[in-house]
Amino acid sequence: MKSDGRRQGIMDFLMDTGTASVDELASRFGVSKMTVHRDLDELEESGFLRKVRGGASIQPSGLFESDFRYRQKQAGEEKQRLAAAAVAMVEPGQTVIIDDGSTAGGIARHLADLRPLTVISNNLAVIQDLAGVGGITLIALGGQYSKKFHGFFGLLAEDTLRSLRADVAFLSSSAIHGASAFHQDQEVVHTKRLMMAAAARKYLLVDHGKFGRTALHFLTDLKAFDAVFTGRELETQMREALDAAGVSLTLVERTRP
């Protein structure tokens, strides 16, 4: 197997497992451990994984955000509930911003029932879902494509956002610490802040597993959002910190049969 195909195979395997040891990868792909180390070095340099002691991981950390495909698989049922609840904040005829996050991106599939709408997004999954849908005016933000985040970033996206105004923005974040949102990538942070500045109302969608974590870059205080949606009751200490900071938290629990 050529190196490019093997590296893609490593990523596909990690999408299912989250982590793998060097020994496991060497056996799976029939190569030496030194070859696996070289592959992991290349993938880490490209930002697709992080090397850990004895192997590699695509699970998030304070400095590393997971690949979009891996994040899509995490807390999938909860993310669907959040998207279905948050779309109630939209009315026909409005302009909606959706960011690159896998949680906020889930809103796209619910928007056809609210047409006509204008949708602005840098999220390629959202763009693909809504392209050609009648009654949806789609504004795709240009810029440089990031395979890891499955979206577009950079000067073109930022300049376009500065020229637009929207009624509602839906955002996601990789970590919530105290009453603040954080993200590992500074370019992603910059784009999200411009989306917030362009919208009259702003909503954050985060699954409960994001709380109590931190990441490298401060995004914003949670009180900057009109509401924060999550899908499970938080620990008492976390909930008290949010209440004390004046954060509006919307709990979207699973419907019992």
Taking only the tens place, the pLDDT of each residue in 145-174 is 998 889 999 999 999 999 999 999 999 999
Parallel/antiparallel/unpaired status of strands 117-121 and 136-140: parallel
Please tell me the predicted confidence (pLDDT) of residue 123. Answer: 96
What pLDDT sits at residue 86?
94
Averaged pLDDT for residues 241-255? 90
Determine the pLDDT at residue 255: 67
Give 82's DSSP letter: H
Averaged pLDDT of the chain:
90
Q: Which residues contact 137 (CB under 8 A, 6 or more apart)?
A: 116, 117, 118, 119
pTM for this prediction = 0.82
DSSP letter string, 43-65: HHHTTS-EEETTEEE-S--SS-P
Residue 224 scores a pLDDT above 90: yes
* pLDDT at 69 exceeding the cut of 80: no
Residue 51 · residue 160 · CB < 8 Å? no
Measure the CA–CA gap between 229 and 115, rounded to whole angstroms: 23
Residue with tokens 């299912």: 16
CA distance 246 to 180: 12
Q: Report residue 26 as tokens.
A: 């060497």
pLDDT of residue 183: 94
pLDDT, tens only, 105-132: 899 999 988 999 999 999 999 999 999 9
